[in-house]
Amino acid sequence: MYRIIIEQTKDYPKRMQYDPKSNIFQATEYDSLLYVRGVTFPYGWLKESGTPPGEHFDAILISGERYDLGEELPIRIIGVFKRSDNDHKLVAVDEKRQETDLAELSSDELSELYKLYPRIDKNAGEGWFGAKTADEVIKYFMQRNINEL
């Protein structure tokens, strides 16, 4: 089981930035990609991976619920969007949901999720992948960080 810390919701048109020293979220001058592309799912980081602005893993939470910035919830990782720049985005659901893989989401949820990255460079290895690939990406990330200590 993992935990997500909510960093961005549909209520904030500007990208939110977390300051770990003050434990405060502040709006930046930049537009939120989620907001611009009409994705209503909340976004955050995997607590077990680190804390922004340091190294951490971003996650999109497939949920229609409302959350507060900084809220922490137990989640299940069901997929990942692999980016060519290696800034991969995990896909998660609340641990109470039944889905165990990206392919099990409803067509409406998948359609909304896919709006986040409408252009995919398959030649560069980009794309949406299920739970097995997400697990491999997480293991690689965690192992790499352990080796750098």
Which residues partner with 45 through β-bridges? 5, 58
| CATH code linked to domain 2-148 | 3.90.80.10
pLDDT for res 149? 42
- The pTM assigned to this predicted structure is 0.93
- Output the pLDDT for position 4: 98
What's the confidence (pLDDT) of residue 141? 84
Distance CA 123, CA 23 (A): 40
The helix or strand, by DSSP H or E, that contains position 115, with its residue range, turns out to be none
Q: What is the mean pLDDT of each run of 10 residues along the chain (149 residues)?
A: 96 96 96 96 96 93 97 98 94 97 98 94 93 95 64
User: Which amino acid type is present at position 130?
Assistant: G
